[in-house]
């Protein structure tokens, strides 16, 4: 199973040091890289971390981009991707510009070259710091796990055709690995024919692996039928491709289970942030939250503190041994979540699916048995119900 960490705020870097080797590398969004250029590239190079740059090209086609046009990364990426001439008055990229194959080819090349060269060009500054410090060894540029062709969120046949054309236009160099990111609009998950069509088209591509992203698909809020549709999507893709990895770009506990079962080949964890991504909301810095191990979700630190009266909500990790959630600083909260992510993975790997399903059911009952009053019971049910939905969706996989 491959597990990557998605770095979203540079405040995370000191907290993840201890666990860096427990993960296969980090994923960094191009707009984050352009916001914290030196901090990000310096961190990747000095720690020699395997990395993936998500080019986040979809952002430029969303109405929401209007809110971002004054940000530094917006103008930097528009310049780097060579799309300044195709931006409408409202700041949105006009996708019709890609009807011209020459324009499309240039765009693809620029987006791919950006991923190939950005860390090394930014880190030449880092190297000069090392020279100044008279360090004996200048760190090497770490390896890039794979490159991702540009993509836009699939909500129509036109976008599907565009994405396929973008991927087919990639010129692959040397030993590079190209992974197609399949960004499926949430509503499409329920449109069986279109979903099948998407899977068929992506299956026949000459790529080395896949990332999947169902927009705004949040494992913790989905009912078992949509979780089953998610499993169906992965399995259908898997049956069409040979020995190629499928990694969930935004996953949590449920995706970790699917990865252990071999349905997925891995996942990318958000840290300190939600484990899903809604492209249609603005987002912004996530408040510091506490990852509650028994329900596998983030809670406000106040809420997590309040629930400690119930033993099942307590954590035994070295951070929680010293402090309770409301006394933790951001670094503690991130260290705690990484401790638990590693622990969860080991625990899942050492148990059969039947045992995992039994544990989900047992945990549900433990959570519900600790409520002090009706109001708390309602809230606990909201937290605990996903465990039953996961179990229901996994039931069909039990032999």
| Angle at which helices 374-395 and 224-240 cross, to 10° | 30
Classified as helix, coil or strand, 274 is coil
Least distance from C-beta 35 to Zn ion, angstroms?
30
Alpha-carbon gap, residue 275 to 287, rounded angstroms: 14
Q: What is the DSSP string of 175-234?
A: T--BEEEEEE-GGGGG-HHHHHHHHHHHHTS--SEEEEEETT--TTT--HHHHHHHHHHH
Alpha-carbon gap, residue 94 to 114, rounded angstroms: 21
Least distance from C-beta 370 to Zn ion, angstroms?
18
Alpha-carbon gap, residue 356 to 348, rounded angstroms: 7
Q: Of 270 and 279, which has the nearer Cβ to Zn ion? A: 270
Least distance from C-beta 381 to Zn ion, angstroms?
24
Q: Of 13 and 336, which has the nearer Cβ to Zn ion? A: 336
Q: Of 207 and 367, which has the nearer Cβ to Zn ion? A: 367
Ranges within 123-162 binding Zn ion (CB under 5 A):
none
Q: Of 92 and 317, which has the nearer Cβ to Zn ion? A: 317
Least distance from C-beta 365 to Zn ion, angstroms?
23
Q: How many residues bind Zn ion (CB under 5 A)?
A: 5
How far does the chain reach from its first CA to its final CA, in angstroms? 21
Least distance from C-beta 336 to Zn ion, angstroms?
4
Q: Of 105 and 300, which has the nearer Cβ to Zn ion? A: 300
Q: Of 176 and 344, which has the nearer Cβ to Zn ion? A: 344
Q: Of 146 and 319, which has the nearer Cβ to Zn ion? A: 319
Identify which of 4, 17, 73 has the alpha carbon closest to the alpha carbon of residue 46: 17
Least distance from C-beta 293 to Zn ion, angstroms?
7
Classified as helix, coil or strand, 372 is coil
Identify which of 56, 194, 264 has the alpha carbon closest to the alpha carbon of residue 202: 194
Ranges within 336-365 binding Zn ion (CB under 5 A):
336
Give the containing element (helix H, strand E) for 267: strand 266-270
Site string for Zn ion, 58-97 (x = CB under 5 A): ----------------------------------------
3: exposed, middle or buried (C-beta count within 10 Å: 0-12, 13-18, 19+)?
buried
Q: Of 246 and 315, which has the nearer Cβ to Zn ion? A: 315
Counting DSSP H helices and E strands in the chain, the numbers are: 14, 9
Least distance from C-beta 23 to Zn ion, angstroms?
18
Ranges within 281-340 binding Zn ion (CB under 5 A):
315, 317, 319-320, 336
Q: Of 36 and 313, which has the nearer Cβ to Zn ion? A: 313
Give the containing element (helix H, strand E) for 368: helix 353-369
Least distance from C-beta 361 to Zn ion, angstroms?
24
Alpha-carbon gap, residue 57 to 77, rounded angstroms: 9
Least distance from C-beta 308 to Zn ion, angstroms?
12
Query: What tokens does 112 get?
Result: 């791919």
Q: Which residues would be at the binding site for Zn ion (CB under 5 A)?
A: 315, 317, 319-320, 336
């Amino acid at each position: 199973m491959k597990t990557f960490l998605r770095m979203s705020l540079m405040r995370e870097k000191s907290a993840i040091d201890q666990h860096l080797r427990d993960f296969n590398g980090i994923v960094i969004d191009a707009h984050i890289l352009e916001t914290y250029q030196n901090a990000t590239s310096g961190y990747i190079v000095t720690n020699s971390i395997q990395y993936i740059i998500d080019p986040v090209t979809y952002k430029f086609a969303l109405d929401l981009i209007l809110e971002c046009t004054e940000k530094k990364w917006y103008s930097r990426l528009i310049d780097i991707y060579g799309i300044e001439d195709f931006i409408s008055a409202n700041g949105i990229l006009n996708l019709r510009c890609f009807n011209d194959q020459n324009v499309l080819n240039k765009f693809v090349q620029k987006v791919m070259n950006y991923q190939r060269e950005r860390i090394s060009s930014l880190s030449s500054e880092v190297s000069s710091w090392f020279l100044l410090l008279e360090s004996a060894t200048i760190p090497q540029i770490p390896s890039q796990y794979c490159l991702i062709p540009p993509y836009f969120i699939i909500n129509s046949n036109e976008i599907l055709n565009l994405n396929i054309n973008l991927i087919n236009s990639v010129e692959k160099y040397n030993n590079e690995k190209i992974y197609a990111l399949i960004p499926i609009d949430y509503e499409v998950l329920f449109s069986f024919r279109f979903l099948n069509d998407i899977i068929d088209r992506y299956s026949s591509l000459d790529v080395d692996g896949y990332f999947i992203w169902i927009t705004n698909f949040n494992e913790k809020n989905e009912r078992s039928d949509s979780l089953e549709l998610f499993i169906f999507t992965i399995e259908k893709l898997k049956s069409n491709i040979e020995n190629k990895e499928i990694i969930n770009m935004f996953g949590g506990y449920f995706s970790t289970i699917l990865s252990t079962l071999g349905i997925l080949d891995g996942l990318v964890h958000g840290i300190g942030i939600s484990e899903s991504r809604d492209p249609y909301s603005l987002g912004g810095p996530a408040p510091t939250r506490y990852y509650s191990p028994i329900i596998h979700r983030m809670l406000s630190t106040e809420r997590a503190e309040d629930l400690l009266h119930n033993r099942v909500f307590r954590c035994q990790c070295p951070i929680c041994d010293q402090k309770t959630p409301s006394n933790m600083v951001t670094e503690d909260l991130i260290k705690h979540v990484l401790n638990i992510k590693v622990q969860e993975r080991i625990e899942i790997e050492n148990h059969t699916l039947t045992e995992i399903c039994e544990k989900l059911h047992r945990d549900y009952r433990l959570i519900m048995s600790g409520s002090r009053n009706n109001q708390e019971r309602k809230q606990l049910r909201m937290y605990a119900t996903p465990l039953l939905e996961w179990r229901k969706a996994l039931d069909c996989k039990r032999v």
